Structure 1
Amino acid sequence: MKLNNRLNIMHVLFAKRCLLCGSVSERDLCPPCHDSLPHLSSHHCMVCALPLATASVCGACLANPPAFERSIAAASYAFPIDALLHSLKYEAKLALAPVLADLLTVRISPADLPDFILAMPLHPAKLRERGFNQALEIARGVSKTTGVELLPLACRRVRDTRSQTGLPWKEREKNIRGAFTCEADLSGRRIAIVDDVMTTGATLNELAKVLRERGACNVSAWVVARTLPDRLAQAHSES
């Protein structure tokens, strides 16, 4: 009896716990917490991932198609996804990277798999300051699960641009212009860019343009979270 009690205590003390609620769980996120995440509806623009009445292509992407053909996003940029990403990015909680990668990979079907995966590059100055690239850490998990080769050194960020936060689309586009370079020969290759968050898509679009110039025949954007405009965010939270 004493041995059983001791084993029960050890199980409680050292059992895996949900990252959000702290309850004992076989997974990083217990089923109730996982189900309560702000998962994106299957009805969204196939290009920019913004919600639509049906799965199609939105008017903005039809009028001005970005350099990437498809976006896959795990969730909207809302609580608690935003908190998890913040903890990874600014608190260096690297153990969250594979958890976030898993949320993304479940959205990826065999038909979506490209030839190579690239992570959104950080400028060397930002990399020295932070010590790691959160997009690369997530991309490692995605590559491991999908079996698609990750090219960690194919592209570089050569301009240390100011933060895109708060800038309108035109300013974001101007701010990020010429920020990337790629030395890899991507002729005829299908590429997926992995990043943590897509807001307007300007940064992803700029990198996708560079990949196109290097011969990529198809570029997709894979992100953990998609920021929704206020009106769509409210509708999404109420659905």
Structure 2
Amino acid sequence: MTIKKSLSGVRTRRDLLKGASILGGGALAMPFLSRLAFAEPVELNMLAWYGHAEPDVVAEFEAANNVKFKPKYYTGGDNMLGLIAQSPPGTFDVILSDAEYVQQLNAAGYIEKLDPADYPFDEFFPEFQHFPGHWQGDDLYSVITRFGFLGVAYNTEAITEKEASTYNVFWTEKLKGKVGHFDWHLPNLGQISLLTGNASPYDIDAAAWSAVQNKTKSLRPQIGGFFDYGGTFSSLQNGQMLA
């Protein structure tokens, strides 16, 4: 693997990653930054969900640490794993992954252990300080950047807020052939699992899983297409899909 060096002659991409908080929600002080101030930015290869290497996300960090992110975007954890497996070791310096894939990355030897002291965990909510899956015992392998909820995106000219307040909206007659399916199984099956009465949507028995599969299959006549991250938004914007 070829590592690009800064003009100071000794700092590499990996040195920068060890000296700064890439995934911890803010840059940490780096003692060698003054030596890099007039050097060419160090290029960091980042594998991430769409949008996470855009200026509104990384520009402040790039300016503070004299680096430039070169992103490779993916949709879905399976796609991410495939891209890593097909790439030479060391291709990516930073991986932005969903939490449920961190242990798979670790087991495959794709990621390196992190130093918890490099990250301001005392500023995190307690439930995120030792987030399940990001740690293996007391060893840290990933740091949470954000969390959120996946709901129903819909065309407000076709569907009311009240109608969209339940996942059952996907089965309404006016949405036949107009439901866009995000091409990633976890959020989609999670929604259906919640709809079928599973309070813990991913922790279910065989009978509940069978019910989820049957309910999902019943949605097929409503589906107008399967889309990646960008396609989901564009299909709603151009009216091809309504939800």
- Above 0.5 in TM-score? no
TM-score, structure 2 as length reference: 0.21
TM-score, structure 1 as length reference: 0.22
Q: Which has the larger Rg?
A: 2
Structure of higher RCO (CA pairs closer than 8 Å, 6+ residues apart): 1
